[in-house]
Chain A
Amino acid sequence: MTAVLGASVRVEATQRRFGDRIVLNSLDLEIAPSEFVVLLGPSGCGKSTLLRLLAGLDRPDAGRVTVPRARAIVFQNPRLLPWQRVWRNVTIGLDRRDAKRVAMEVLAEVGLGSQAKAWPRTLSGGEAQRVSLARALVSEPDLVLLDEPFAALDAITRLRMHDLVRALRHRHNAAMLLVTHDVDEAIALADRILVMREGRIGTQHRVDLDAEQRLRGYEREELRAQLLTEIGVSATGP
């Protein structure tokens, strides 16, 4: 497959049906190399369906999906193999001689170097999700797909994971697509936020804010209120 010039991901007029229900309706999407895109929307809007199409876990009924061959996915549930030690979980998709060395490096990056030989059952929820992040990054992907990976984590762990994802993203320089229904998470991480509506991309917002502005300030609150309205939640939240 020849590399797609200009874009890392290109989705053209893509449709996906389940029975009579049209989940993705003539959807178009482009993601630039090393861009961080957040896909926002209420549950059932087709976010995860789109992500599965991009991951190659599902096929469209119509249209065309072009993605880099080197891609990885992080699921909401860490999906670690309970019968393999942590470092073996990281090397599951890796077919090279120095797999262990590479796995140890990535595990050190996510702060789990000392847990490499542990069984998955001994890990906390945040640690398990960091292992699954390491498993995604170990193959040096051009595109990382994240399917609500922090939804099940507590607030503090989630903030730490955001920092980690930001750091990893700059180091690995991969395009990332994060699916979430958490507006704050979207603002914290995205270069661009897409709001999904009725099976297609409804609106999009480019987020040109620095780290401080993403946490507080007028622009942030404005964007937050706007996004909440768009996904159908009243903006008068806390």
Chain B
Amino acid sequence: MSTLVLTGHAPPRTPAAEVPEVEVFSPLSHRSATVARLVRLGRAPLGIYTVPVLLVVLWQVASSTGWLSPNLAASPVQIWHAAQSLWQQGLLWPDITKSLTRSGEGLAIGLTVGVVAGTIAGLWKLGDTLFTGVVSVINTIPLLAILPLMIVWFGIGEESKVLLIAMGATVPIYINLFSAIRGVDAGLVEMARAAGAGRWRVITRVLLPGALPGFLIGLRFALAYSVLGLVAAEQVNADSGIGFMINQAQTYERVDQIYLGIVIYAVLGLTAHQFVRVLERVFLTWRPSYNGS
């Protein structure tokens, strides 16, 4: 902008419209900080459980007002009563422990196989050649489709159930661990070798810790799949466990007990999720990654 100044007066001041907008940052006052914390708490008082709890409350309201027919959907309170009465008859706890044992055993096998094979394949090309094809094939076959085969091979006993869960858990562990090891920065491996670290040192201090975030993602899936495998295995030819309980409830048209079984599976899933979150908080404190805003 060119201004022609004819007199000896000061040049005209820049019009207000041309002053650039500014932002001012100062520390939050104690009060507004408290308000902000309350707002944040109000937005999600129970963290990730806020929405599930809210849904349960809505569900109860819908049932109590008669909007949901009790023949189709039991209300949360009814489910709670079903749990109490089954518990008092001593029928609930044995089924839960049976299911937990199955998924625990399956997970243990799946974790072991997945970690061993995934580590070998991540570290050595030969391992990749040997395992990855097979795992990819298994990955695309639905667990439910394998179940009849398992029963033919291993009978209707515990083996087929545990092995089905193990298969479900192995695949995500293997895939995630393998790609996590291969995803470790080659520059870090080179640095460690150049610094004089031996093969073992490179594995234990660079590759495996570097692959931990990816492994935990695999673990999260493995835990979820083990619950899925549990459902699949227990719905067919079981005489105990939560799936069996659901089947029985279906026979006697006890909708509340069917829901109870589903709720127990859901709680297992949430617990597994929480477990991995704790692991991440403990083992991944070093991560400079984004935490969400």
Q: Are A and B physically bound partners?
A: yes
Residues of A within 8 A of B (CB): 55-57, 72-73, 75, 77, 79, 81-84, 88, 92-95, 119-121, 135-136, 139
Question: Any chain A CB within 8 A of the CB of B253?
Answer: no
Contact of A93 among B188, B192, B210, B286 (CB under 8 A): B192
From B23-31, B88-96, B197-205, give the one contacting chain A.
Answer: B197-205
* B side interface size, CB within 8 A: 21
B189-244 contacts to A, CB under 8 A, are 190-198, 201, 205-206, 209-210, 212
Interface residue? B292 (CB, 8 A): no
Interface contact A82-B286, CB-CB below 8 Å = yes
> Contact at B194–A73, with CB atoms within 8 Å?
yes
Interface residues of B (CB under 8 A from A): 187-188, 190-198, 201, 205-206, 209-210, 212, 285-288
B residues in contact with A75, CB < 8 Å: 187, 191
Q: How far is the CA of A92 from the CA of B197 in the complex (A)?
A: 6
Q: How far is the CB of B234 from chain A (nearest CB, A)?
A: 39
Contacting residues, chain A, for B194 (C-beta < 8 A): 55-57, 72-73, 93
How far is it, in angstroms, between the C-alpha of A72 and the C-alpha of B286 when the chains are bound?
A: 26
- Bound: A82/B213 CA distance, A: 12
Cβ contact within 8 Å between B209 and A83: yes
What's the Cα separation between A93 and B190 when bound, in Å?
Answer: 12
Task: Using CB atoms, name the residue of chain A closest to B284.
Answer: A83
Secondary structure of the A side of the interface?
loop
Contact call A135/B195, Cβ cutoff below 8 A? yes
Q: Are B195 and A72 in contact (CB under 8 A)?
A: yes
A139 contacts B288, C-beta separation under 8 Å: no
How many A-B residue contacts, CB cutoff 8 Å? 63
In the assembled complex, the CB of A204 is this many whole angstroms from the nearest CB of chain B, namely 26
Q: Tell me how far the C-beta of A71 lies from the nearest C-beta in chain B, rounded to whole angstroms.
A: 8
CB A91 to nearest CB in B, in angstroms, measures 9
Question: Across the interface, which residues of B come within 8 angstroms of A79, CB to CB?
Answer: 187-188, 190-191
The 8 Å CB contact of A119, one of B188, B192, B286, is B286
**Nearest CB to that of B288 among chain A residues?**
A121
CB of A124 to closest CB in B, whole Å = 13
Q: Give every chain B residue within 8 A of A92 (Cβ-Cβ).
A: 191-192, 195, 197, 201, 205-206
Q: Which residues of A contact B212 (CB under 8 A)?
A: 83
CB distance from B252 to the nearest CB of A (A): 54
- Considering the complex, give the chain A residue whose CB is closest to the CB of B209: A83
- Expressed in whole angstroms, the Cα–Cα distance for A73 and B196 within the complex equals 10
Instruction: Provide the residues of chain A in CB contact with B195, threshold 8 Å.
Output: 72-73, 92-93, 135-136, 139
- Taking the closest CB of chain A, its distance from the CB of B41, in whole angstroms, is 28
On whether the beta carbons of A93 and B197 are closer than 8 Å, the reply is: yes
In the complex, which residue of chain A has the Cβ closest to the Cβ of B193? A57
Going nearest first, the 7 A-B pairs with the smallest beta carbon separation are A93-B195, A93-B196, A121-B288, A79-B191, A83-B209, A83-B286, A73-B194
Looking across the interface, which residue of chain B has its beta carbon closest to that of A72? B195
Given A81-B209, A92-B191, 14 new contacts (CB under 8 A):
A57-B190, A57-B194, A72-B194, A72-B195, A79-B190, A81-B210, A82-B287, A83-B210, A83-B286, A92-B201, A92-B206, A95-B201, A121-B288, A136-B195
From residue A82, how far is it (CB to closest CB) to chain B in Å? Answer: 5
Find chain B residues with CB under 8 A from A136 CB.
195
In Å, the complex CA distance between A210 and B196 comes to 35
> How long is the Cα–Cα vector from A133 to B199 in the complex, in angstroms?
23
Most buried by A among B201, B205, B206, B287: B205
Which residues of B are found within 8 Å of A77, using beta-carbon distances?
187
How far in angstroms is the closest Cβ of chain B from A143?
A: 12
Q: Could you say which residues of chain B place their CB within 8 Å of the CB of A120?
A: 286
